[in-house]
């Protein structure tokens, strides 16, 4: 008699069910966030999947990552492309909402654009970054579709401190103090 693969692999049945569920979700494009073969529900404009034209440059990665939360207000914004890009058309196609003034820089291959905001981003705010369909590769091929990602900056850090300072009784100019942070 043959043992089941559950016993041979010494895998608990609940683990096998979890793996089966994950494989089913992956095969069906489930799990949310777009990227699957199923179209998003009507009215859901987050992470819509639009296929770029054949041979068009694509977005490989972003910083901050799409849908990141608690991003520091002093962050840079980076977009990595699948091939060398034309700096002028790509920078013209780059926008943020709320609007952010950037100083742009490129890596040596012209595949990675970095936007360094000229001022800190606003705390506790969702930013939408868009690369319009007009961004072109170095060979002149447009992306053909816009690319959008979002991230949310962290809430401001509020320090609540109570400090008490007193002069020394010995006539010296030294000061002593203590602070307590928190409510």
Q: Each residue of 143-181: pLDDT tens digit?
A: 999 999 999 999 988 766 566 665 555 555 555 555 555
DSSP H or E stretch at residue 113: strand 112-117
Count of beta carbons in the 10 Å neighbourhood of residue 6 = 12
User: Would you say 110 and 92 are in contact if contact means Cβ atoms under 8 Å apart?
Assistant: no
The answer, yes or no, to whether residue 80 has pLDDT greater than 50, is: yes
Name the CATH topology of 59-153: Immunoglobulin-like (2.60.40)
Domain map (residue ranges) of the chain? 1-49, 59-153
Q: How confident is the model at residue 53 (pLDDT cuts 50, 70, 90)?
A: confident
The answer, yes or no, to whether residue 33 has pLDDT greater than 80, is: no
Round to whole Å and give the CA distance between 141 and 53: 10
Higher per-residue confidence, 33 vs 140: 140
% of the chain with per-residue pLDDT over 70: 60
């Amino acid at each position: 008699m043959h043992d089941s693969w559950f016993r041979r692999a010494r895998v608990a049945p609940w683990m096998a069910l979890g793996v089966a569920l994950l494989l089913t979700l992956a095969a069906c494009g489930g799990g949310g966030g777009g990227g699957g073969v199923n179209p998003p529900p009507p009215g859901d404009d987050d992470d819509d999947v639009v296929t770029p034209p054949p041979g068009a440059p694509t977005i490989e990665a972003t910083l901050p990552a799409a849908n990141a939360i608690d991003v520091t207000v002093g962050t840079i914004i980076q977009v990595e492309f699948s091939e060398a890009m034309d700096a002028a058309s790509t920078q013209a196609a780059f926008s943020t909402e709320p609007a952010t003034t950037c100083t742009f820089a490129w890596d040596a291959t012209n595949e990675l654009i970095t936007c360094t905001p000229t001022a800190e981003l606003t705390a506790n705010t969702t930013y939408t970054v868009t690369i319009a369909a007009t961004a072109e590769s170095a060979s002149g091929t447009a992306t053909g579709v816009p690319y959008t990602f979002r991230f949310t900056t962290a809430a401001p850090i509020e320090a609540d401190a109570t400090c008490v300072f007193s002069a020394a009784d010995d006539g010296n100019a030294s000061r002593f103090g203590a602070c307590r942070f928190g409510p």
